[in-house]
Amino acid sequence: MSSLKGKAVHIDERYLHVELEDGRIISTPMDWYPELKRVSLTQLADYRFICHGTGIEWPELDYQLSIAAMFAESRQEKAA
């Protein structure tokens, strides 16, 4: 999965969407990322790709996310 490179990030109230350079879009629930769910849309818009495009960083939040980790099947949504 090392060829997973991000092109753009889009966030809505329920999902984190990452558009890959090859045209695919990965969508994962925002509930998986409580640190991101708690912040403003302005803060979420301040991201950059790191590690040759295979990761995403929100510098102001000191939060990094591997695009490959978004495919992890072991993640589960927490019950409300």
Mean pLDDT by 10 residues, the chain (80 residues): 83 94 94 93 95 96 94 55
pLDDT reported for residue 79: 43
**Is residue 78 situated within a structural domain?**
no
Give the CATH number for residue 30: 3.30.2020.40
pLDDT of residue 71: 82
Q: Tell me the whole-structure pTM to 2 decimals.
A: 0.83
pLDDT confidence of residue 72: 78
Query: Is 1 part of any domain?
Result: no
- Whether residue 15 is contained in a domain is answered as yes
19 assigned to some structural domain: yes
| pLDDT recorded at residue 80 | 41
pLDDT at 75: 54
Determine the Cα–Cα distance for residues 44 and 57; give it in Å rounded to an integer. Answer: 10
Domain total of the chain: 1
32 domain-assigned: yes
3-state secondary structure the chain: CCCCCEEEEEECCCEEEEEECCCCEEEEEHHHCHHHHCCCHHHHHCCEEECCCCEEEEHHHCEEEECHHHHCCCCCCCCC
User: What residues have CB less than 8 Å from 64, skipping those under 6 apart?
Assistant: 50, 55, 56, 57, 58
Whole-angstrom Cα distance, residue 8 to residue 78? 27
* pLDDT the model gives residue 27: 95
Domain with 49, as residue range(s), is 6-71
Domain contains 11: yes
